[in-house]
Structure 1
Amino acid sequence: MKKKKRGMAIVASSVLAMSLLGFSTSVHTSASTQTVSKNYLIAYSQSLPKNYLAEIKSAGGEVVRAMPEVGGVEVRSSNPNFLSQLKSSGTIVAANTERDYKLEDGNPEGADGQSVDIKKDADGTYWSSQWDIRHLTSEGKSFALESGGTKTTDGKVAHKAVVGVIDSGIDAGHPDLAANFIGGKNFVPKGGYYGDVPGEQGITTDVTDTNGHGTHVAGSIAGNGSIKGVGPNLGIRAYRIFDASGSAPTSPIVAAIVQAANDGVDVINMSIGGFDNLKYYVDGTRYSDIADLLLWKRAVRYAVNKNVTVVASAGNDSLNYADKKSLTDYLNVNYGGDSVVFKGVTVDVPGAVPGVITVASSNMWSTNKLAFYSNYGNSFIDVAAPGGDNGPKYDATRILGDRDFTYRALSTWPRYLPKYFTMVDNKGYAYLHGTSMASPKVAGIAGVIKAAHPDYTPAQVKALIEKTALDYGKVGHDELFGSGEANAYSALTDK
């Protein structure tokens, strides 16, 4: 079902946002008939049965993507009785219509029509405007301790640590990213859209960012030029899962997690998310998102078992995740109706998936308050990181004219995209805010920790990040900041 405001804040700001949509469906018409196709996810108990292809075909389905590492299959079918007719020689744990995530463009309001008026420093950088990175790195001191750097193994030079960015792609030629970009994989079909029928796979190496989100995230991790990331010499690999419409079903995201783990990345950043509900009704028919949730869990477990630290954003709904009833009530109020009723447990993915470091968004001006949009909750938030907001004046009044965009996070932006309303110098850089901007800061910290301590497991990386976080909010672990605001310098200087 439709679910907005996941990766970047849109409350009174009109920036990009994550959405969890309803059934992944399409309509094909002919002169005499109309057929509705749906995408389904099937989660088997362990490995895929030997004859799963024939069994799915017999029920009227066509395999779109097989994910043997997690025992999952994505299927498209126009048979309305596909699930009930599916007979398996193996054990199907769950099967349901597939969820679909969407990045949406907001329409700039009011004063949003102009670029942000800042100038470069005397050295030609925007360092003085990067309040977030300056704070995380203790004015750049952490760079001297560990920036990602390179290592030589068997005569080959490589980055000490690599972060996989599962997102909308990357402007690989951006001058602040090019030196650290080491490839990636595209999961979007050839036509640029997942489309209404299984399409031919697009060029697998084409990770061109057609949205901007992924490029901004990458700059916060490993920018090295006019702006700096947390680890200016970390390697970055792009996994493009959002198509030209800004949409992606569960399956390519799960496949990207598996691919990144197989590629040997050290850290995965997912500034994405949404809500799965385990029991809801559409026109009286019961549905669930159990298969989606199972495959999310298996994919994260697969990555962690391959020694990959997984980091994700907490979302921008201003919700207390510990209040389970309020989550389901929120879905009913915002996305329910006469024909749609949510009744089951609501689960945030990937934020609530075991093994994920979940990141809330802090701001420049307060050590007691999160950014106004950030989700929070005990046993949900692990740490916070600077994701920015519109400044203290706006926080007090919520008047659009009181926004100050320089309280947001400055990072890289695709040079070839049309002008964005918070762009700097009209090209290559933009201010954004959201938990999407907080998560990559923690992924960058995890990256430099792995560069400094290559033998650390994901559990050890997480423990160090939490141990060395700045204790903001209530003393000790709290519902807003978790263990505190993560900090690269304190992590690298810990004894």
Structure 2
Amino acid sequence: MRKKKRGMAIVASSVLAMSLLSFTTSVHTSASSQTVSKNYLISYSQSLPKNYQTEIKNAGGEVVRAIPEIGGLEVRSANPNFLSQLKSSGSIVAANVEKSYRLEDGQPEGADGKPVTLPDSDTYWNLQWDMQHLTNNGKSYNIESGGKKTSSGVVHKAVVGVIDSGIDATHPDLKGNFISGQNFVPKKGYNGDVPEEQGITTDVTDTNGHGTHVAGSIAANGKVKGVGPDLGIRAYRIFDASGSAPTAPIVAAIVQAANDGVDVINMSIGGFDNLKYYSEGTRYSDIADVLLWKRAIKYAVNKNVTVVAAAGNDSLNYADKKSLTDYMNVTYGEDLGITFKGVTVEVPGSTPGVITVSSSNKWSTDKLAFYSNYGNSFIDVAAPGGDNGPVYDASRNLAERDFTYRTLSTWPTNLPPSKATTLTPDYAYLHGTSMASPKVAGIAGVIKASHPEFTPSQVQALIEKTALDYGKKGHDPLFGSGEANAYTALTGK
């Protein structure tokens, strides 16, 4: 099995793109002054020391979240000298201002008045070109569906954790496979300005749609089908209603999913970190972020969890490191008042132990979807994430998009239809590496259901070995080992 180069990376999520934000801050105003609080990530050398609360307090900080399994803290402080005052601790290996990421509406062009209306039917299988292809027209379901039907219902033979915007557990295509979930979003959101957030840990209601669409690609069992229609799914909600999430709750969710005993984690999420950048003459880095991402993934893999992540939708060659930093400066530098000069890394995509997925399409075995990131030593496999069709690919004329070349999956029943793709409630066409990643997570899930003794490296090896060899013969920068396929993985051919 091919080994990844050591490195880190986050991915932008599909149609709902993930964007790097400014530092996580909150403003508290008094009669005499205005104090700006910042959130920080702290990575200790090993486990958290017994006196960490006192240490943080003495430096002028307050612990927001502790993640003892990976020696990490999320801290808030209004002390402008907080980081320098922490340097006296010999057990801290890295500390930096915490980054926050945002799910955006990603489809500003809308449907141009041409949304798709799905037919009135008991099944949309004939519209799921991606799932037909992945399962060899449903034949893989007869080999392994991810669960066993009994007189009392379905017993899930493997469980996939979805770290995302939540899941609509009441959706008719998902409710039979939804097990439980945990909400990591605090009351009033991460910055205290999202009033609809109540901070209820068991409330994983999807306020965005992204997580529900992802979950459907894994385990839907109704009008649409997922890769494993009998797989169990657990939701780990990390985005608040504004679409924001800092690093700490994401890595905490990875740890929690591993502790819950999931077999697979899907992360159709991410963003970029940089190891050296300047703001107002002060040097910063994201080393603590990178360390905690790496530790969280390692923690999950050590607990026998297969971790799958999307490659991102920036059309970037991850092997070209200079272009990544240039991209950061052009895309974010001016708006944030930041100059990026260090190595840009993407987490969790290139972290050792992660299966990183690029996005293939319906119409070509040589070209990826136009938006997909790629690169040697970055992409492990591809999977169908969809695009706007071959006509649009040639012209890039928005008026020539065909939404049916995107992938159809579940949409929250508590949200209006996806205005960019369909007028039919409860289902939506979306495209992106976010839609590709859960296909591979679903394949990993049915492999674990069929071979519960497999380790993450064995799961990955089988997915790569049985991938369809698209693109250049052998391993290539676009498709990696090829396009992953559930039927070939389960039959071994």
For normalisation by structure 2, the TM-score amounts to 0.94
Within-5 A mapping of 1:242-391: 242-337=239-334, 339-391=337-389
Cα distance in 1, alignment partners of residues 149 and 41 from structure 2: 41
Among candidates 419, 422, 437, match of residue 421 of structure 1: 419
Answer yes or no: is the 8 Å Cα contact 2:162–2:235 preserved in 1: yes
Deviation at 1:157, TM superposition (A): 7.3
2:437 — aligned with what?
439
1:206 — aligned with what?
203
1:459 — aligned with what?
457
Counterpart code for 2:148 = T
Deviation at 1:88, TM superposition (A): 5.4
1:37 — aligned with what?
37
2:139 — aligned with what?
141
Deviation at 1:108, TM superposition (A): 4.3
Give the secondary structure class of the aligned counterpart of 2:112. helix
Cα distance in 2, alignment partners of residues 457 and 471 from structure 1: 24
Cα distance in 2, alignment partners of residues 460 and 237 from structure 1: 23
TM-aligned CA distance change 1:97 to 1:419, over 3 Å = same
Deviation at 1:118, TM superposition (A): 3.2
Counterpart code for 2:14 = M
Answer yes or no: is the 8 Å Cα contact 2:110–2:420 preserved in 1: no
1:79 — aligned with what?
79
1:103 — aligned with what?
103
Cα distance in 2, alignment partners of residues 307 and 190 from structure 1: 33
* CA-based RMSD: 2.1
| 4+ residue runs over 6 A deviation | 197-201
Answer yes or no: is the 8 Å Cα contact 1:5–1:317 preserved in 2: no
Answer yes or no: is the 8 Å Cα contact 2:110–2:419 preserved in 1: no
Cα distance in 2, alignment partners of residues 110 and 450 from structure 1: 39
Answer yes or no: is the 8 Å Cα contact 1:167–1:214 preserved in 2: yes
Deviation at 1:112, TM superposition (A): 3.4
Counterpart code for 1:465 = I
Give the secondary structure class of the aligned counterpart of 1:336. helix
Cα distance in 2, alignment partners of residues 286 and 83 from structure 1: 12
For normalisation by structure 1, the TM-score amounts to 0.94
Among candidates 217, 221, 229, match of residue 220 of structure 1: 217
Cα distance in 1, alignment partners of residues 285 and 108 from structure 2: 35
Cα distance in 1, alignment partners of residues 186 and 340 from structure 2: 32
Unaligned runs of 5+ in 1: 10-15
Answer yes or no: is 1:194 the counterpart of 2:200. no
Deviation digits for residues 153-194 of structure 1, max 9, x if unmatched? xx9974100000000000000000000000010001123x11
Answer yes or no: is the 8 Å Cα contact 2:10–2:345 preserved in 1: no
Aligned-residue sequence identity (percent) comes to 78
Give the secondary structure class of the aligned counterpart of 2:470. coil
1:410 — aligned with what?
408
2:472 — aligned with what?
474
**In the comparison of the two structures, how many residue pairs are matched?**
482
Deviation at 1:107, TM superposition (A): 5.5
Deviation at 1:106, TM superposition (A): 4.0
Within-5 A mapping of 1:106-185: 106=106, 108-109=108-109, 111-120=111-120, 124-150=122-148, 158-185=155-182
Deviation at 1:424, TM superposition (A): 4.1
Answer yes or no: is the 8 Å Cα contact 1:112–1:421 preserved in 2: no
Cα distance in 2, alignment partners of residues 188 and 421 from structure 1: 26
1:12 — aligned with what?
none
Among candidates 371, 396, 399, match of residue 398 of structure 1: 396
1:17 — aligned with what?
17
Answer yes or no: is the 8 Å Cα contact 2:45–2:71 preserved in 1: yes
Cα distance in 2, alignment partners of residues 299 and 109 from structure 1: 37
Cα distance in 1, alignment partners of residues 199 and 363 from structure 2: 44
Most deviating of 89-98 and 377-386: 89-98
Most deviating of 199-208 and 372-381: 199-208
Cα distance in 2, alignment partners of residues 308 and 151 from structure 1: 24
TM-aligned CA distance change 1:150 to 1:110, over 3 Å = closer
TM-aligned CA distance change 1:18 to 1:198, over 3 Å = closer
Deviation digits for residues 205-259 of structure 1, max 9, x if unmatched? 1100000000000000000000000000000000000001010110000000000
Counterpart code for 1:243 = D
Counterpart code for 1:84 = S
Counterpart code for 1:393 = V
Cα distance in 1, alignment partners of residues 107 and 457 from structure 2: 41
2:3 — aligned with what?
none
Give the secondary structure class of the aligned counterpart of 1:341. strand
Answer yes or no: is the 8 Å Cα contact 2:10–2:349 preserved in 1: no
Deviation at 1:20, TM superposition (A): 2.0
2:235 — aligned with what?
238
Cα distance in 1, alignment partners of residues 301 and 404 from structure 2: 36
Answer yes or no: is the 8 Å Cα contact 1:52–1:88 preserved in 2: no
Deviation at 1:368, TM superposition (A): 0.2
Deviation at 1:117, TM superposition (A): 2.7
Answer yes or no: is the 8 Å Cα contact 2:265–2:308 preserved in 1: yes
Cα distance in 1, alignment partners of residues 78 and 471 from structure 2: 52
Cα distance in 2, alignment partners of residues 473 and 399 from structure 1: 25
Deviation at 1:337, TM superposition (A): 3.2
Give the secondary structure class of the aligned counterpart of 1:169. coil
1:486 — aligned with what?
484
Answer yes or no: is the 8 Å Cα contact 2:380–2:481 preserved in 1: yes
Give the secondary structure class of the aligned counterpart of 1:337. helix
2:61 — aligned with what?
61
TM-aligned CA distance change 1:183 to 1:38, over 3 Å = same
Deviation digits for residues 318-342 of structure 1, max 9, x if unmatched? 0000001110011112222394211
Cα distance in 2, alignment partners of residues 451 and 107 from structure 1: 36
Deviation digits for residues 445-485 of structure 1, max 9, x if unmatched? 00000000000000000000000000000000000000000
